[in-house]
Chain A
Amino acid sequence: MGASQQFCTFFLDGHVFGTPVPKVQEVILHQEMTRVPLAPDVVRGLINLRGQIVSAIDLRRRLGLPERPKGQLPMNVVVRTDDGAVSLLVDEIGDVIEVEEEALERPPEILQGFPREVVSGVYKLSGRLLLALDIDRVVDLSDLKAPDGNREF
């Protein structure tokens, strides 16, 4: 039997995504956010996580998926990064699942449409695919358009 890893899974626009459990600090319900004018639009705002100020990144926007339907409140998956906690906004939280390393495949061509560099691998589950996210790349927005740019709102 090969090595296995636990993944925290969540849903975005019908796709299943996951990140290794140790990366996840906590999962919390929707929080009130403070908008940050001039910020890149993937940053939806700042939340107060027990006195700590945490940026909330909308994963749908980060992955180039269609906007979340109006009225559907996102949930926060708070992940640990080198730069402190960051919250990822997802549609819904899934189970923690155990995946075998053998189920891992390179990100295939079907990933067209996503920024591929943030997907570290694809796991074949029974009946569906789990896209494993590279959290450090997800929270690194330096490749995106300069936040201070002259984007019109």
Chain B
Amino acid sequence: MDEIVKDFLIESAENLDRLDQDLVKLEGAPSSTELLARIFRTIHTIKGTCGFLAFARLEKLAHAGENLLSRLRDGELTLNAEITSGLLAMVDAVRSMLAKIEASGQDGDDDYAALIAHLTQLQSGRANLPPANVSPVDVAQNADAPASGGRNEEAVVAPQAAQPRDTDAAVETIRVGVNLLDRLMNLVGELVLARNQLLQFSNTTQDAGFQAVSQRMNLIATELQEEVMKTRMQPIGNVWNKFPRMVRDVALSCGKDVRLEMEGQDTELDRTIIEAIKDPLTHLVRNSVDHGIELPEARKQAGKEASGVLKLRAFHEGGQVNIEISDDGAGLNGERIRQKAIERGLVSAQQLARMSDRDIFNLIFLPGFSTAEKITNVSGRGVGMDVVKTNVEKIGGAVDIQSTVTKGTTVKIKIPLTLAIIPALMVTSGGERFAIPQVSLLELVRLEAGEGGKGIETVHGVPVHRLRGRLLPLVYLNRELRIEHAPVKDLGTDSPTNIVVVQADGREFGLVVDEITDTEEIVVKPMGKQLKGISAYSGATIMGDGRVALILDILGLAQRAQVISEARESALAEKEKAGKRDDSQMHRQTLLLVQCGDRGRMAIPLSQVARLEEFPASAIEMAGPQEVTQYRGRIMPLIRLSPALAATGMETAAAPPEDHLQVVVYSEAGRSVGLVVDRIVDIVDETLVVQNPAERRGVLGSSVIQKRVTDLLDVPSLVRDLIPGMAESRARV
């Protein structure tokens, strides 16, 4: 295709995008001469170029539009919704003709006679003047004056008919193909790798000259990388540009009145990411207008303004970009979501019962979910929200939804700035090196040799580490990837344990690795399709020594290890109560729930629990009448909770013959006592309202925990009661 036609197509496409926006803006400010002039000029340029390039049909259409616009600009007509729609229809027609030109080099067979007639009718509708006969040249000059210094700062190799532009801007910018930028980025990626290799090598030599050169090289490469990265950055406004038009159209088609507010259009993102979030964002915006914001009457009834507000917000935070789409609509109907989720068999009733509102809302991201009462052509087809989530997660982002009934809904998206070069933490496991993207990283925890055993416990068979009072589920990387033949180091051995605390999907877990080496800028490279199916990796990279290392996909890994769902279980219980937190902030405690035979569930304040242990039944020995076990080189008396809590002196049946004992270790003044329970149930964060303080030994009273009446244990008094002198019992042995 002719270079000149190509330029015309590129330029026109850009101008049309702006035109959409301008027309919608114009609807809000019908008398803005500046806007009108700009719109006029765009159409005029297209018309003029068409004439030159002999696209007669397109020229005719643009001419009809131009005439109408000139009447508006001269104040002979006032803009109304009908005219705006007519003009937008013209823009669409122009766009489709341009697409035809791009595909075939011809402007198609459709001459849009009806549309042209409509446009002509619109312009003569009120004032019956002959079609404007303003000379195009005059118009161009008139129109140009107020618009110079406008927003289009790109230099355009414009065909003859294009008007002179702001010359300063033209000198400072040139148009560069995206392919070229991509190639540059790849080359810089290679350079960064070579730099890493060079640095590694320079560390092994003593040559001061060489070291100086490689330092300099390092600085330049870093700077170059940053600058090249910037060339690929685009403001998110480029995606948002089409939203004003879309919101207008969707709102109109469902009889709603929606005002779009945008904040942070200048927030920049790598173009690959811009591409990737285009569709999810479009879907979310449509959804908000279609389902979020109510009809004007409904809004008035609810005491709100008739016109709804849809707000888009973008901002940088911690190396990530946050995008929020919020509406002031009806909010999500939690009840309906519950019903739908059950109807569609997405979750079980039990699961549902334990879910917090936030989790309920996030159900709409499940595949096959749609609460729309009626399916419109806009949204509600049950595809969409899950695709939104998948697409965002594919680029390393996360989606969250918050909603308040009658107040509105906010969808928050967090995405990385760029995908090409990312900072990562290098770790080793089973002799292999892996990269963990920094965005998923929270902190590093190292348990020294002796502490290894102390820091890791088992709850429901899941290894956990108690990090500042919270339980962090652990995933052993070598086990998960099955990369060690030798039995994996067991819990609590002598070597130190390295835990990389990461988060995926808003949940945290600890990844246990052999060694943590360094952080490094890595270049993400795709893997062949033979390996695409493995969810544990997001790609591969080349290290300073030239070898390949795999990049871990933390989300995929978490799903493989099912640690997210495990964590979710306990987090849910915690969150369920978070809603009630406002009622009473006091007496909030973390409790360990245990099952003790016929006494049912008991709660022990976690602060009184030193450790959770499991002993084989064979480890129990007798010291006089007292059951004991050897624990950390000492003798620890054991109390079987269930008989101990029964009325004093009453004999209970012998302990059930179990292979393993679940023991809650309580320590006081350096001495430990083991409380034998049937099962560790859960750990919950609970506001304690102790009712009917009991007279019973060892029980403080009862409280409702997880909707069940649960006895609260008074461990210190129980222990004092049952083991009169721990020192004494030890001496006896």
Residues of A within 8 A of B (CB): 32-40, 43, 45-48, 51-55, 57, 83-84, 86, 139, 141, 146-148, 152-153
Which label, helix, strand, loop or mixed, suits the secondary structure of the B interface? mixed
* B337 on the A face (CB < 8 A): no
Residue pair B536, A34 in contact (C-beta under 8 Å): no
Kindly list chain B residues whose C-beta atoms are within 8 Å of the C-beta of A33.
Answer: 548
* B481 on the A face (CB < 8 A): yes
Find the B residue at minimum CB distance from A144: B530
Kindly list chain B residues whose C-beta atoms are within 8 Å of the C-beta of A153.
Answer: 482-483, 485
State in angstroms the CA–CA spacing of A36 and B534 once bound together: 10
B486 to chain A, nearest CB (A): 12
Find the A residue at minimum CB distance from B556: A148
Which 9 residue pairs across A and B have the least CB separation, nearest first?
Answer: A37-B481, A34-B548, A55-B528, A46-B548, A37-B483, A53-B525, A83-B529, A153-B482, A53-B540
Q: Which of B432, B529, B530, B535 has the most CB of A within 10 A?
A: B530
Residue pair B540, A46 in contact (C-beta under 8 Å): yes
Which label, helix, strand, loop or mixed, suits the secondary structure of the A interface? loop
B225 to chain A, nearest CB (A): 15
* B644 on the A face (CB < 8 A): no
* B546 on the A face (CB < 8 A): yes
Find the B residue at minimum CB distance from A38: B534
Residue pair A51, B190 in contact (C-beta under 8 Å): yes
Residue pair B530, A47 in contact (C-beta under 8 Å): no
Residue pair B535, A37 in contact (C-beta under 8 Å): no
Residue pair A39, B534 in contact (C-beta under 8 Å): yes
Residues of B within 8 A of A (CB): 189-190, 193, 430, 432-433, 481-483, 485, 525-531, 533-537, 540-542, 546-550, 560
Q: Which of A35, A45, A139 has the most CB of B within 10 A?
A: A35
Residue pair B528, A47 in contact (C-beta under 8 Å): no
Residue pair B530, A57 in contact (C-beta under 8 Å): yes
Residue pair B547, A48 in contact (C-beta under 8 Å): yes
Residue pair B482, A38 in contact (C-beta under 8 Å): yes
Residue pair A32, B530 in contact (C-beta under 8 Å): no
Kindly list chain A residues whose C-beta atoms are within 8 Å of the C-beta of B546.
Answer: 48
State in angstroms the CA–CA spacing of A38 and B4 once bound together: 53
Residue pair B485, A48 in contact (C-beta under 8 Å): no
Residue pair A152, B534 in contact (C-beta under 8 Å): no
Would you list 16 pairs from A and B whose C-beta atoms are within 8 A, ordered by A residue? A36-B531, A36-B537, A37-B432, A37-B482, A37-B483, A38-B534, A39-B530, A39-B531, A40-B530, A43-B530, A46-B527, A53-B525, A55-B527, A83-B528, A83-B529, A153-B483
**A147-B193 contact in complex given A36-B550, A53-B525, A55-B527, C-beta closer than 8 Å:** no
State in angstroms the CA–CA spacing of A117 and B31 once bound together: 72
- Given contacts A36-B537, A38-B481, list 15 more A-B pairs with CB under 8 A: A34-B433, A34-B547, A34-B548, A36-B550, A37-B432, A37-B482, A38-B534, A53-B527, A53-B542, A57-B530, A83-B528, A139-B530, A147-B533, A148-B560, A153-B482
**A148-B533 contact in complex given A35-B432, A51-B190, A153-B485, C-beta closer than 8 Å:** yes
State in angstroms the CA–CA spacing of A46 and B548 once bound together: 7
B731 to chain A, nearest CB (A): 51
State in angstroms the CA–CA spacing of A142 and B624 once bound together: 66
Kindly list chain A residues whose C-beta atoms are within 8 Å of the C-beta of B540.
Answer: 34, 46, 53
Residue pair A54, B528 in contact (C-beta under 8 Å): yes
Residue pair B432, A34 in contact (C-beta under 8 Å): yes
State in angstroms the CA–CA spacing of A86 and B432 once bound together: 22
Residue pair A146, B533 in contact (C-beta under 8 Å): yes
B532 to chain A, nearest CB (A): 9
